[in-house]
Structure 1
Amino acid sequence: MPTVLVADDDANIRELVCLFLRGEGYATVEAADGREALKAYAASPIDLAVLDIMMPAMDGWALCRELRRLNPDLPLLMLTARGETWEKVKGFELGADDYLTKPFDPLELTVRVRALLKRYRIGAARAVRLGEVELDRSTYKVTTRTETLTLPLKEFELLYTLAETPGQVYTREQLIERIWGLDYAGDNRTVDVHIKRLRERFAEVPDFRIETVRGLGYRLEAAE
């Protein structure tokens, strides 16, 4: 049974969220602020965290940063009362996987939780090999013929997504939705920036290349 940490200073929201999550078969752990959430995380195994931004003692930004430092693989869903673009961008930059704006439909929250857990489990279940290159999702490391690199989270997720299905074309919109989340409101050209960085990192690696499909998006081609 997956365990979800729900951190929100509003007791009514915590109760509502936990009620629906338990109805879907999840165990829940509650915290009224970021410090309580860190204690709860240290005390028991947590599979996913739902974090409110505006909390006393330690807010959602600081909590997100600390949880991501402690566990790069932990799925993080952030809640915000305003839903402003800058908040979403900041959350994603700190490592959030998805966003939900208050007031929200509890059923939508449970769907997003289920989707995040599924995405995480599929990714965490295996490594991907491209010739002599291995992508290890448990450590976010890429091992090539000559070195081992630890990539920033979004760069790794982007490369891993392309590498899972070599030859498949992904549009920018599909990559944004899968890696930055459904509520990402920034410029989808951020995908181009991350692709450029990946190409620069692996320019001397012959095992694969990332190709631009004009008018569509990107695909990864493995060397034969």
Structure 2
Amino acid sequence: MKTKILLAEDDPDFGLILKQYLELEDFEVSWFQNPEDIVRLLPTDFPFHMGILDIMMPSIDGFSLAKMILKEKKNFPLLFLTAKNQKIDRLMGLKIGADDYIAKPCDPEELVLRIKNIIKRTRPSYSPQIKIGEYSLDTEKLLLSHHSGNIRLTIREQELLLYLLHHNGTMIKRDDILDTLWETNDYFTGRSLDVFISRLRKYFINDPAIKIQSLRGIGFEVDFPVT
């Protein structure tokens, strides 16, 4: 599955060069010169795996944009672009949730290496197509297919499904799921998790071999016949 990168860079020349180089490296890049366009996307499913944000942008600076993104999309990996001689508050960036910094104009090979390291740390490796019993999951299209029909998953539904698949055949603690995917653990997120689990059970109802069993007071145990 291609890594989908959100690029916020107001410099038209540097942004175009960066987009073209990353696409040659087989990344899928959505380039925005106006960060306000990104803010308008936040209420949607936001189909990106990480973001590259220029710190100095005229309408919304990179730090402010990062705060807006992370408020809606917790755990979203971010790499900041800084000017060569720019003094930045790295501590502020780390508090916001920066995964890395790189000075521009940057060495393209170094940038690609930093991106790959971020992805390796934050995202498990899955093939684009996963066979789950009688179902097929297209992770690029967020599409769960069965001969009875297709279901378009939300990003959070797919994240939860992939997390369960990653821990297939083991006991999974509720707290671990909430801490990893929701980054918080309270009554309301716990109820939200229950809703998502119920949805997944409903989606897989046509294959009795697929089991998502609740363990009272502990979490879940799943059995996915994956091939």
TM bracket (short chain) = 0.5 to 0.7
Superposition TM-score, scaled by structure 1 size: 0.57
Letter in 1 for 2:189: N
Flag the 1:211–1:3 CA change in 2: closer, same or farther, 3 A. Answer: closer
Query: 1:76 pairs with 21, 33, 50, which one?
Result: 50
Superposition TM-score, scaled by structure 2 size: 0.56
The whole-number CA distance in structure 2 between the counterparts of 1:194 and 1:6 is: 30
Flag the 1:142–1:151 CA change in 2: closer, same or farther, 3 A. Answer: same
Letter in 1 for 2:92: P
The whole-number CA distance in structure 2 between the counterparts of 1:3 and 1:204 is: 32
Counterpart of 1:122 in 2: which secondary structure? coil
Tell me the equivalent position of 1:116. Answer: 119
Letter in 1 for 2:50: L
The whole-number CA distance in structure 2 between the counterparts of 1:4 and 1:87 is: 14
Counterpart of 1:206 in 2: which secondary structure? coil
Matched, 1:203 2:209: no
Any residues of structure 2 matched to 1:43-58 within 5 Å, and which?
45=23, 47=27, 58=36
The whole-number CA distance in structure 2 between the counterparts of 1:142 and 1:131 is: 12
Which whole-Å deviations, capped at 9, do the CAs of 1:32-73 have from their partners, x for residues lacking one? 39xx97997589628488x9xxx96625422556893xxx3x
Flag the 1:205–1:81 CA change in 2: closer, same or farther, 3 A. Answer: same
Tell me the equivalent position of 2:142. Answer: 140
Tell me the equivalent position of 1:12. Answer: none
Tell me the equivalent position of 1:97. Answer: 76
State the Cα RMSD in Å: 4.8
List, as ranges, runs of 4+ consecutive aligned residues in structure 1 with deviation greater than 6 Å.
36-40, 99-102
Contact 2:78–2:99 (8 Å) recurs in 1: no
Contact 1:135–1:160 (8 Å) recurs in 2: no
Contact 2:144–2:153 (8 Å) recurs in 1: yes
Contact 1:176–1:191 (8 Å) recurs in 2: yes
Contact 1:140–1:150 (8 Å) recurs in 2: yes
Counterpart of 1:188 in 2: which secondary structure? helix
Tell me the equivalent position of 1:213. Answer: 215
Counterpart of 1:104 in 2: which secondary structure? helix
Which whole-Å deviations, capped at 9, do the CAs of 1:74-103 have from their partners, x for residues lacking one? 31358755998x9745335xxx73579981
Flag the 1:191–1:132 CA change in 2: closer, same or farther, 3 A. Answer: same
Flag the 1:153–1:83 CA change in 2: closer, same or farther, 3 A. Answer: closer
Which whole-Å deviations, capped at 9, do the CAs of 1:4-23 have from their partners, x for residues lacking one? 6653xxxxxxxxxxxxxxxx
Tell me the equivalent position of 2:130. Answer: 128
Query: 1:61 pairs with 19, 36, 39, which one?
Result: 39
Tell me the equivalent position of 1:32. Answer: 10
